[in-house]
Amino acid sequence: MSFDSSRRRAGILLLACLWATPLLAFDHTFADYDSVLTKYVANGRVDYAGLRADRATLDRFLDQCAAVTFDEYQSFLKEQQLAFMINLYNASVLAFVCDHPRMKSVDEFKGIFHDVWSEKFVRLFDHTVSLGQVLHDILRPEFKDTRIHFALVTACKGDPELLNTPYRAEILLTQLDQQMDRFMLERPDANRFENGTLYLSPIFKWYAVDFGKRADLIRFAARYFPQVGEQTPVQYTEFDWMLNQREN
């Protein structure tokens, strides 16, 4: 066999091997994001200074998300899609805060025509989109699950607490239930029954259409505050826009 024939045969074998090698599938365990959360998040508070100095793992995770095509996303199970979007949303917010080291509150970005929800910094399906687009164009209409509002965190103290573990498809429904229960029962700054009045987070006002009519909201609240009845007055608590930053 000639040298050229051997080289040609080797080339064919190499191409065959490359063709047979499958593309790496998206990691639905969210290992890199898990590492970030475990290291820098505790009790819903984030060590942004530490993360800012060591953000390679967070950036790698966001690169992994950005590499997912729309067709690949469509092949995910429904729970995988929802976990992907929630984790992408929350992780993108972490990166946004890291990119603005002097920021003390996301309210600083509120202007006449823009805010943190309209700023385009989330990389998704070969586009750069805003948090608002992820929330209003994908999460709310596609999944129609009010528990999403207890999972998304936009770096505010008034938000539900950021978990120190990713949302994962196989335990997603349990995680969402636990987040909802925790926000309702363990956050008297946001939700409480006091002196005959039901006080709720303004999240319930901002997304009132998702939570239904007043009777639906009352039934929901009564699961956590049995004293609540049809005539119970409802007021909304003040939302804390300051960063959910860990105090050193």
Q: What is the pLDDT of residue 17?
A: 46
Residue 248: per-residue pLDDT: 65
Chain-centroid distance of CA 202 in Å reads 19
What is residue 117's predicted lDDT score, i.e. its pLDDT? Answer: 84
Q: Are strands 192-194 and 120-124 parallel, antiparallel or unpaired?
A: unpaired
Q: At what angle do helices 56-66 and 78-98 cross, to 10 degrees?
A: 140
Copy the structure tokens of residue 49: 């200074």
Instruction: Give the model's pLDDT for residue 22.
Output: 45
What's the pLDDT score for residue 116?
A: 83
- The residue to which tokens 């950005």 are assigned: 66
Q: Which residues of the chain have pLDDT under 50?
A: 3, 12, 14-22
Strands 234-236, 45-46: pairing kind: unpaired
Beta-sheet strands, E only, within the chain: 41-42, 45-46, 120-124, 127-130, 192-194, 197-200, 234-236
Q: Is 187 exposed, middle or buried (0-12, 13-18, 19+ CB in 10 A)?
A: middle
Residue type, 44: G
pTM listed for this prediction = 0.88
Q: How far is CA 226 from the centre of its chain?
A: 30
Residues 37, 167 contacting (CB under 8 angstroms): no
